[in-house]
Amino acid sequence: MSPVPSSLYAFHKASIHERRFVAKVCAAVPLLILMGYLAMLTYALLRSPKLLLITCAIMNTSTWLWITSTALLSIAGVYLAKDALQRTHCKRSLSILGAPTASSQSVEASDIDSDRVVHLIVLPNFKEDESMLMETLHSLSEADDSESFCIVLAMEEREPGSAQKGERLKNRFRQAFGRIVVTVHPFGLQQTHLDDSEDQEVPGKASNLKWAVPQGFAECQKSGFCRSRSSIILTVSDADCIFHPGYFTAVSREFNMRRENPGNDHLWTMYQAPQLPYRNYYGSAACCRIWAYVSSAYEFGGVCSLDFGGTHMTFSGYSLPLQLALDAGAWDGDVIAEDHHAYLKCFFYSALASAEVSESCFPQLKVQPVYLPVKSTSVAAESYWRTCVDHFLWD
């Protein structure tokens, strides 16, 4: 990955929380668009029936096309996932029986290669039930090549007893992974912007990851488990995500295939699997069940669209090269929606980096679909109203 010219403005680090006039205008754009649209509809309703009909026709047609295309792509994605699951099951069955497979051979070769792929898996969590975290770690221990995993339990200082909980989990699963690290994100840190203004970090997944990723990597590197960061794949996961046992092998295989090609394509690729929030589907509230159905269809369709020239941002649980995450500064401490934010920062950083070799700022970032679904849970609180509120705040 080529260094970014110092003479270029680091626009991938720009933030709407800056005090500059341009930042304030960008922050106001969504509200201005909404107000303008409502004003146009009000005028059309009162003064111009023709404008109202044209506006409604455009909105209805575009909505119908979006929903229909997403539904069709979701159906196609289900079939692609079915094929991927069957192929992975056959490979894992052959591996269990002792038959040599392409994946097992690559793993054996990587054992003597200093550039072997290492998976750095970060689990940011706050007041998560310890039994659920144990289920998540147990599922990771059952994944193929889990001995090449470095697990980072990203705890929060503002949760009483979080460090002790992390140590208990670390001691319980110490033998299941290559390395397991506990980090504790301090409360009250500041986020510094390009204009030297500062804001206090917003408690959440993004600020936790901003602290935990470099800290976890440093701990793994100190122990000698991780060498070159260019050979490390970082996976960000919610505490309730259950990855398919073959997910990490599939990502490693794709990473190695891209690494063998000319150029640095492997360093500009993120990986996304469709996420299905069905772990507690029947026990969750009606609003969550409806959203789980809509969300799974949208995620399947979005991931599948990547194979047909479409675009889709990373969501919840995803993987990317550690070098890309560190160079782009993928997470800011004063945002909440870290998954889309991380994608956009890497996207704009790839556009900035392309200026090193050409006069154009053509983004090099790609998202590679992995058709091995990830299971997660829906929001569940003590009451229906509290569930609706939490769902609105976090989803």
Report residue 3's pLDDT band, with 50, 70 and 90 as the boundaries: low
Position 99 in a domain: yes
Q: Which residues of 321-337 are buried (b: 16+ CB within 10 A; e: fewer)?
A: bbbbbebbbbbbbbbee
Q: What is the per-residue pLDDT across 147-167, written as a single tens digit (0 to 9) for each?
A: 889 999 999 999 999 999 999
- Asked whether residue 22 is assigned to any structural domain, the reply reads no
In a domain, 88, yes or no: yes
Q: Is residue 43 part of a domain?
A: no
CA atoms of 50 and 377, how far apart (whole Å): 46
Place of tokens 């680090």: 13
Return the pLDDT at 48: 92
Sign of the C-alpha dihedral, residues 248, 250, 253, 259? negative
Domain that holds residue 312: 62-394
The whole-number pLDDT of residue 83 equals 93
Closest CA to 352 of 328, 335, 332, 368: 328
* 14 domain residue, yes or no: no
The pLDDT, as a whole number, for residue 109 is 36
Give 302-321 pLDDT, tens digit per residue: 999 999 998 899 998 999 99
pLDDT of residue 4: 55
**Strands 232-236 and 318-321: what pairing?**
antiparallel
Distances (CA, A) of 9 to 5, 12, 131, 355, 356: 9, 9, 47, 11, 13
Question: Between residues 88 and 388, which one has the greater pLDDT?
Answer: 88
CATH number for the domain that contains residue 211: 3.90.550.10
Per-residue pLDDT at 189: 93
Statement: residue 324 has pLDDT above 90: yes
- 103 within a domain of the structure (yes/no): yes
Give the total number of structural domains in the chain.
1
| Mean predicted confidence (pLDDT) in 365-376 | 94
Q: How confident is the model at residue 6 (pLDDT cuts 50, 70, 90)?
A: low
- 239 in any annotated domain: yes
DSSP codes of every residue in 218-271: HHHHHTTS---GGGEEEEE--TT-B--TTHHHHHHHHHHHHHHSSSSGGGGEEE
Q: Would 232 be classed as within a structural domain?
A: yes
* pLDDT tens for each residue of 334-353: 988 889 999 999 999 998 88
Q: What tens digit of pLDDT does each residue of 181-196 get? A: 999 999 989 999 988 9
| Pairwise CA distance, residues 58 & 46, whole Å | 19
- Is the pLDDT score of 102 beyond 70? no
User: Per residue in 40-70, pLDDT tens?
Assistant: 999 999 999 999 999 999 999 999 999 999 9
Per-residue pLDDT, 381: 66
- In 3D space, the residue among 373, 270, 242, 274 whose CA is nearest the CA of residue 330 turns out to be 270
User: What is the pLDDT averaged over residues 84-110?
Assistant: 62
CA distance 361 to 104: 40
pLDDT over 50 at 276, yes or no = yes
- 313 class by beta-carbon count within 10 Å (0-12 exposed, 13-18 middle, 19+ buried): middle
